[in-house]
Amino acid sequence: MPLALIALAIGGFGIGLTEFGIMGLLPEVAADFGVSETVAGYLISGYALSVAVGAIALTAALTKVDRKWALLGLMVLFIAGNLISAVAETYSLMMVGRIVAALCHGAFFGIGSVVASRVVAPEKQAGAIAIMFTGLTLATVLGVPLGTFLGQAAGWRSTFWAITAIGVVALIGIWALVPRSAASGVEDAARTGDAVRAGAAPSLRSELLAFRQGQVWVSIVVTILGFGGMFGAFAYIAFTLTEVSGFSAGAVPWLLGVFGGGMFVGSLLGGRAADRNIQRTLVVVLAVLTVVLVVFALTAGNKVATVASLLLMGGFGSATIPGLQMRIMQYAAGAPTMASGANIAAFNIGNAFGAWLAGLGLAWGLGYRSPLWVGAVVTLVGLVVLVVGGRVAGASGAGGAEGGAGGAGVGRSRDGGSEGDEAALAAVGGAGR
């Protein structure tokens, strides 16, 4: 296994810890800055919105930059943001640190995926990308509970100092182990001709043409609502666990580990199911997730039921991710890179939207069960959009999302072609990388 993949995984671990680690520390952060729980939760929403902006803007800006140098620049941005968070004396400065750190998130995973696929043989590309993303998974399974434990034991700032140190390790690793590569657009055009046939680099305009597809927008909306519902429920989970379920603050890190374990298993199983049928998998998973959130809200006062609900919420919430990502790539004929980046942005818009709605429930005095109810409603709306969108696609002959992973690649768009034609072309393009 190339050591470059380890460096990328370390970077992913740090980024994942930055995104999710604060959730278990919200009570301590709120108390330190003298703000309400709702206002403290905006540090989550601010991060998510910044990810959404960075995923599109920085990916576009770095199109012609050598990928190694792009990754190094993104890690410097990551380190700077977490350093600001670690030393912040005011809530406003803390928000600045969160926004700065978040800008690198989407672009790092987008560019890092391409780099990972280039340092191994073609038949091992999917495995290489999976190794890079294990960093993000480990951040959820191990990093978040340990970060919460460290923050509670040595102050919440210690967690951000630790994340900063992880960023430095990743920076050194990328510098030492990741090989230089040609500018992404030129290299990929010459190698694959995905966006152009004459050998010229794909333009930003050609990538943006994917957004003429109606089903691409359906996918984005489903991602925002489907994942946002789960995230809204999870954003204030520390308060639910301590104030409703009756767990001590010291138990929160271990309970977050249960949630992370569910995410790890759910992601693997969700990917396998989506390989068989994306639309059906997403319908089933979103329906079950809605039920899980409702049951969690009703039984949150029972500790055993709470643990089981955490496991299932993490499992079915994470099971949506592979299918949602595959769906948008199928319908984004000729432009999987930008579409994939847009979906990363959609995940984080959903995070911000869900956390905002859940915060409103708390602000209105609806209690610490309300984030679960809000999450269930938002997820249900996402399910309805998915079902309606799937029927429209079927009626128009755009059956791209009905197939398995083999359709996750991209066909070549024809200017002036119908939405159904372009989606059908996307569906038959190979994606097994």
Q: Which domains does the chain have, with CATH numbers?
A: 1-202 (1.20.1250.20), 203-433 (1.20.1250.20)
Phi-psi region at 120: left, alpha or beta (left = phi > 0; alpha = psi -120 to 50): beta
Segment 259-263 mean pLDDT: 85
In the chain, % of residues over pLDDT 90: 32
Give yes or no for a contact between 403 and 277, defined as CB atoms under 8 angstroms apart: yes
pLDDT over threshold 60, residue 98? yes
268-272, 360-364, 371-375: the lowest-pLDDT one: 268-272
In the chain, % of residues over pLDDT 70: 79
Report the distance separating Cα 418 and Cα 256, nearest Å: 46
Residue type (1 letter), 261: G
60-64, 89-93, 179-183: the lowest-pLDDT one: 179-183
Report the distance separating Cα 65 and Cα 238, nearest Å: 41
Q: How confident is the model at residue 192 (pLDDT cuts 50, 70, 90)?
A: very low
10-24, 180-194, 294-308: the lowest-pLDDT one: 180-194
Q: How confident is the model at residue 319 (pLDDT cuts 50, 70, 90)?
A: confident
Where is pLDDT greater, at 401 or 349?
349
Q: How confident is the model at residue 376 (pLDDT cuts 50, 70, 90)?
A: very high
Q: How many helices (H) and strands (E) does the chain have?
A: 19, 0
pLDDT over threshold 60, residue 203? no
Instruction: Name which of 57, 73, 345 is nearest 204 in CA terms.
Output: 57
Segment 354-358 mean pLDDT: 89
Tokens of 94: 């803390």
What is the reported pTM?
0.70
For 230-250, the pLDDT digits (tens) are: 988 988 888 899 999 999 988
Segment 183-207 mean pLDDT: 46
- Which helix (DSSP H) or strand (DSSP E) does residue 290 occupy? helix 278-299
pLDDT over threshold 60, residue 111? yes
Average pLDDT, the chain: 79
Report the distance separating Cα 247 and Cα 241, nearest Å: 6
Give yes or no for a contact between 11 and 164, defined as CB atoms under 8 angstroms apart: no
